[in-house]
Amino acid sequence: MKLVFGSDGLHEGKFRTWSQCFHCVGIEWNTPDATITILQRKIDKTKPIVAETLTMRFISQKRLDNLVGILHHIVTFIPVAKPFMQRLIGVQLTTKKYGRSGTPRTDSLRDDLTWWNELVFENEFAGIPMSMFGTMPPERDG
């Protein structure tokens, strides 16, 4: 590169050293252990929003959009949460389709939000095996 761009062509500060543990797309990746971790700050950001929504009798369209947005990232790590997410998206799309400003908090919506609040957020998402998200490539010798 120095031959083409001269002595100023290579900026060492723009290159990172190779690492097997790194942070990318809001996730901590540990390739030697084949695990991933959701950052605790993402969970901490989400918990109060879900808890506050549980106290509301009427959930605005903006709040539904917010819930879907923040829970979408977490659902990636919890395959069993997909049906709960699908129901929430169904409520969101129905309110948009009919031009409503929101929806009353139904018993089923309350139960789903309680599930998120009490079961999902009480668990730690540290060191989740990558094998939960697909097949691992076969190991090769040498």
Angle at 126 between CA 80 and CA 68, to 5 degrees: 45
CA distances for 100 relative to 3, 22, 91, 128, angstroms: 63, 43, 11, 39
pLDDT given for residue 116 in this prediction: 86
pLDDT for the residue numbered 140: 66
Tokens 């109060």 found at: 48
Tell me the mean pLDDT per 10 residues along the chain, length 142.
Answer: 60 67 79 81 84 95 93 77 90 95 94 85 70 65 58
Q: What is the pLDDT of residue 42?
A: 78
- The pLDDT value recorded for residue 91 is 95
